[in-house]
Amino acid sequence: MKELTVKIPEKKVNFFMELVSQLGIEVSHQIDIPEEHKEIVRDRIKKSNKNPEHLLDWNKVQNKFTLE
CA–CA distance, 14 with 17 (Å, rounded to integer): 5
Q: Is residue 4 a part of any domain in this protein?
A: no
Q: Is residue 2 a part of any domain in this protein?
A: no
CA–CA distance, 51 with 1 (Å, rounded to integer): 48
Q: Is residue 5 a part of any domain in this protein?
A: no
Domain range for 50 is 10-27+34-63
pLDDT digits (tens, 9 = 90+) for 3-39: 888 899 999 999 999 999 999 998 887 788 999 999 9
Residue 63 makes CB contacts below 8 A (sequence gap 6+) with none
pLDDT value of position 68: 57
Outline where 1-68 has alpha helix (H): 13-23, 35-50, 58-61
Q: Is residue 47 a part of any domain in this protein?
A: yes
